[in-house]
Structure 1
Amino acid sequence: MSAIGMELRKLKRRRYWLMAAGAAGLELAWIASASGMRATGAPQLRLLGFTLNEAMSLVGMLVPLVAALLASRLATVDTEERMGSLLTALGQPGRARFGAKLTVGSFALVLGQLSVLAFVALVAPSMGMRTTAAYQDAVGPAIVVVVAASVAAMAVQLALATCIEKQAIGLAVGAIAGFVCSGLPSAQLEALGWLLPWGIATAASPISRLATFQTGVPVTVAQPWAGALFAVVAAVIWTTAAALAIIHQENHR
């Protein structure tokens, strides 16, 4: 807890939380606008399953970029006044610092993404959206997938921001990853998302975008909870890989 507390103290007056809140606000404005347009459309389109599908698409597109921005801020705070070197000299290992930064970064990112799902669950119904069986089957797995995808993206982006001196590289990777992964469903290549830490939300989405497009109603995948479980496993794998990269860098410094 001391390492996490130290990270929180370092972030004071760094506009980190303002950045995280701004990103979440942008996503909320986006989903609210899409929901408003759907609420005034044809009755058959006023389904919460469609709104949840849009929210998952939004997560797949923006989480990599938001993770890159937050990870860059978390990493660069240690370069100011040689804070990282000082903490290392005082005996704090880099892996402990990485774990604390991952906790703080994942908390901010997960909180922002869950606020989008909370809007879908709590606000969208008051706008005229209707609940269906597909939505009820998908909302639980969607929460798990969003959390797993956020942690995986944050871990990898934090490793990039820590190991690569030029922060522009990590930011570019996040932006490109979001663009590429959000486009996989259009090419019917969602499964490729499992190969990337930024593609978990796309690959494990409990709403089948192809079936939904073909039928015109929200359709869940065959085993939404299995996808959520695989998302957690993938997040653990990518987080472990990121931690090993930090340890490798520390051992060869």
Structure 2
Amino acid sequence: MSSVESISMRPKEFRSGKPPRSSHPGGLLVLLSMELRKLKGSSFWWMALGMIALVSAWSGLAFMKRAESVNPATRTVALAQGEIFQTVGLLAPILAALLTSRLAVMESSERMDLKWRSLGQSATGRFLAKLVVAGCVISLCFVIPLACIPLAASAQGFHLDGSLAVYILIPALIACFSSKAVTAIQLVLSLTIDRQAIGLGLGVIAGLIGTGLGPMNMPGLGWLFPAGISSAASPFLSSASPDGFASMTLVANPWPKVLTSLLVCFIWSGISAFIIKVKESGR
């Protein structure tokens, strides 16, 4: 067979200058495995561990401060956990901006984006793999203290209304979905904007707005952007006790909030993936 015939029989992707389509089975699992191998031995994991340790240490110190109180009105599991839950809206956008910025820098500095395209891996698939990795890290920053604080508070004799399993599960799920939605948007910003400081600045602004919706009695507006999901779906009801101290209780039926936060997480993740796909198509 002549070289001309060989060239004419090549796939259209080669003749048009486009990367070949991936022939690797597994789809997202393959990309996720490749992403984890790429991050092996990198500073990304040190940054992730630092974030988890920082939030956990702050949560532990805040709980120790509350455990010193002798007032029964302030020694409740809901109040101890609610303080930690309120940090999700503020810290998640900032931590996600830092972590996704690191992923974007590694992708461009090591020319990994060119390598993946040469292997036929789509930008959308690579985005989803990064979202799984970064989203899990940011979620763990809050899920770990939200799951540990009720256990520690119960062991310290804090008052508990209802099931301990519900107190652990509900806030942790909402924090997880909120963190993943925030990570999706911050990852898009990091991958599409060259100046990483812009994404960090937007993360700080989003965190301030998201945590301010509750005090302004407008938590419902939080459904409109990822950083506000934790405020809109907060499972805690705040009130003041007769002696003037703040008190918190878990809402009677928190599962609609959990399911709504899951739906909103899917929506924002889908919007983010669509933006990446459009950018890829425009190349």
> TM-score range with shorter-chain normalisation?
over 0.9
**What corresponds to 2:215 in structure 1?**
186
Name the larger-Rg structure. 2
The range that moved more, 180-189 or 117-126, is: 117-126
Q: Could you tell me how far apart the structure 2 residues matched to 1:122 and 1:139 are? A: 8
User: When the two structures are superposed, what TM-score results if normalisation uses the length of structure 2?
Assistant: 0.83
User: When the two structures are superposed, what TM-score results if normalisation uses the length of structure 1?
Assistant: 0.92
The one of 46, 50, 58 aligned to 2:75? 46
**What corresponds to 1:102 in structure 2?**
131
What's the secondary structure of 1:198's corresponding residue?
helix
Does residue 124 in structure 1 map to residue 153 in structure 2? yes
Cα shift readout 1:155-175 (whole Å, capped 9, x = no counterpart) = 111111111111111111111
Give the total of aligned pairs: 251
Q: Aligned runs of 1:83-232 on 2, under 5 Å?
A: 83-133=112-162, 138-209=167-238, 212-213=239-240, 216-221=246-251, 223-232=253-262
Deviation (angstroms), 1:94:
0.3
Report if the CA contact (8 A) 1:138-1:206 is conserved: no
Report if the CA contact (8 A) 2:150-2:164 is conserved: no
Task: Identify, as 1 or 2, the structure richer in helix.
Answer: 1
For 2:150, the aligned partner's letter is A
Report if the CA contact (8 A) 1:39-1:128 is conserved: no
For 1:245, the aligned partner's letter is I
Q: Aligned runs of 1:10-49 on 2, under 5 Å?
A: 10-41=38-69, 42-49=71-78
Q: 1:198 to 1:137 in 2, by over 3 A?
A: same
For 1:247, the aligned partner's letter is K
For 2:122, the aligned partner's letter is P
What stretches of structure 1 of length at least 5 have no aligned partner?
A: none
Q: Percent identity among equivalent residues?
A: 36
Report if the CA contact (8 A) 1:135-1:218 is conserved: no
Deviation (angstroms), 1:214:
6.5
Cα shift readout 1:184-242 (whole Å, capped 9, x = no counterpart) = 11111111111111111111010023xx2477432333531111111001001000000
Aligned-pair RMSD on alpha carbons?
1.8
Report if the CA contact (8 A) 2:147-2:168 is conserved: no
Q: Could you tell me how far apart the structure 2 residues matched to 1:50 and 1:244 are? A: 39
What's the secondary structure of 2:227's corresponding residue?
coil
Cα shift readout 1:89-124 (whole Å, capped 9, x = no counterpart) = 221110110011011111212222211112212223
The range that moved more, 83-92 or 133-142, is: 133-142
Report if the CA contact (8 A) 2:97-2:186 is conserved: yes
**What corresponds to 1:249 in structure 2?**
279
What's the secondary structure of 1:28's corresponding residue?
helix
Does residue 3 in structure 1 map to residue 31 in structure 2? yes
Bigger relative contact order (CA 8 A; separation at least 6):
1
Q: 1:39 to 1:246 in 2, by over 3 A?
A: same
Deviation (angstroms), 1:31:
1.5
Q: Could you tell me how far apart the structure 1 residues matched to 2:57 and 2:157 are? A: 18
Deviation (angstroms), 1:61:
1.3
